[in-house]
Chain A
Amino acid sequence: MPGIWIYSEDSTVARQLLTAGQELKKTTDQSVNVIAITDEAAQSLAGAGADKVYLLKGISAWPESYAGVIDELLKKEQASVVLIGATLRGKDVAAKVAAKLQAGLVTDALTVQFVNDAIETTRLMYGGLAICTEVVSLPALVTIPPRTFAEASETAGQGEIITVEVTNEDSRVVISNVCPIVREGADIATANRIVCVGRGLSKQEDMKLVEELAAACGAEIACTRGISEDYHWLPNDRYIGISGQKVKPELYIGMGISGQVQHVVGIRDAKIIVAIDTNEKAPIFEAADYGIVGDLYEVVPLLTAALQKK
């Protein structure tokens, strides 16, 4: 029987997708089922309102190794819609499954709904310059970024858990040296205030200016891609943009940032955007709530001093 299927190797993200699945269920009356690869995730999702949870148990613990098993299960179950968490591992699995099913896949959907027996999604393209509405024929796969939907609550029900022993080893592939990345400082993705620096800063020693402003307003420090990838003045997990972090702070203060679309896409969800840059024609001022045209070396110390007084 056709159904809505959910998969993420991250059970928190899977619970967020469950909310999206329940929304779709309202318009189609199809069951909402989950594919899990850990006992803990299967329990949590069955309790959070999934109709059915398939718990896949293979020897390899590498989440990507389940792609071949997931596509067979989805084919057998005649899945009509598959929502997959748009983590990097999830995107990898989703594309492999889509290829095997010869199905369409929308990456990083912002919205997803049934329209006329197909799935309609919106997503960004051209580095965040444009929003694209797309129609996907069924079966349709969609990846949805973490935190797009609220987590389904634990109280909703007790779905059936079906455990399936699967073969997911691949003798061609060996995984080793799995190391968690230790972040230096807080995670900017969840920071409430952010001071962000771009190439307008002329040398690394001047990071002091940025640090002082950040301290004065209780903000985390972030940067554009050039500052981390080309100059290595900050770690890569500090850069904001289409291929970096997406942030949602109450306050974002950008300095020496021209505002290329690839950067601005990462700050769209900021509540207030402040821009300081010498070039009054810089696109950042079109994306900002408040702007000061001027040399950051003059403006930033003044701003730091003013904030310290408060």
Chain B
Amino acid sequence: MQKLLVCYKWVLDEQDIKIAGDLSLDTGRAKYKISDYDKNAIEEGALLAELHGISVEALTFGTDAVKQSLKDALSRGLDKVYWIGDAASEQADAFVTANVLAAAIKKLGQYDLILCGEGSADTYSQQTAPRLAALLDIPAVTFVQKITVADGKVIATRKLGDCIEEVTVTGPVVISVLPEINKPRIPGLKQVMAAAKKPSEEVKVSELGIAAEALTAKVRAVSRKGYVMDRKKVVFKEAAQADNVAKLVASLAQHVLEERGS
């Protein structure tokens, strides 16, 4: 194991997105963040690099705003970040994203292990890792809860809802990690200061020799609307909680409790 790469996405923080009265999304006050699931991928890369005394780099594809992510990313244990800031990312689907990332990885050179989060916090398509592997013609091991590197092999434990399995890969591999694999570090002042001195490098889409068709999304969003539930929203506000509980039980009796045992 010589070189590690982590892919991450710089996304709008959904906690800051407001749903307007007409159900349109107000992203005006939304700040960006490193996609939560990708923080697990970065952490895993940093831990493996520390354990094996090797370097870990990262690659990200976004709009120009992606530059703002560099300091945060570098304070999380990465040695270097390659960033691609291009307007093409605004309409990019997983097809375009994987095409760009794969072309960039081919240009940057050979990596033994490429780590991704299980999905992104915004679109959660869960496609990047397996698409990348297919484009790079190397194996993908998805939904991994544990990674061990030994004798030049990567042993990954997958968790698939109803089963756990171990996958051993010889040679380069793309792995997507589950959030349970680790607890991402919270960078301290020292790490943040050190991040400012770490290198980052821009990679331009135009240098990657990608055909125009491969940069044109196959999946296009035609509308995005707030997804609101039609709920009763009755909050009981009596002074004594016993009264609130009595009212709640009476309300539930109308709907569900009488069905008990049926």
Contacts and interface: CB of A to CB of B under 8 A. Distances in A.
B90 interface: no
Interface stretch (B42-50, B51-59, B77-85, B246-254): B246-254
Nearest to B216: A137
Interface string B159-194: 111111111111100000011100100000000000
Contacts of A274: 248, 252
Contacts of A264: 229
Contacts of A286: 231, 233
A163 B181 CA distance: 40
Interface size class of A (residues with CB under 8 A): 35 or more
B224 A130 contact: yes
Interface in A209-267: 217-218, 225, 229-230, 236, 242-243, 250-251, 260-261, 264
A83 interface: no
Interface string A69-101: 000000000000000000111011111111110
Given A125-B122, A236-B180, A293-B237, A98 B232 contact: no
A97 B124 CA distance: 18
A135 interface: yes
Contacts of A218: 260
Interface string A165-204: 0000011111111111100000000000100000000000
Interface residues of B, number: 85
A96 B140 contact: yes
Interface string A297-310: 01100110011001
Given A95-B127, A294-B244, 12 more contacts: A98-B95, A105-B219, A107-B127, A125-B124, A127-B124, A133-B223, A133-B224, A172-B170, A178-B165, A178-B166, A289-B231, A291-B233
Contacts of A177: 164-166
Contact of A287 (B12, B129, B143, B231): B231
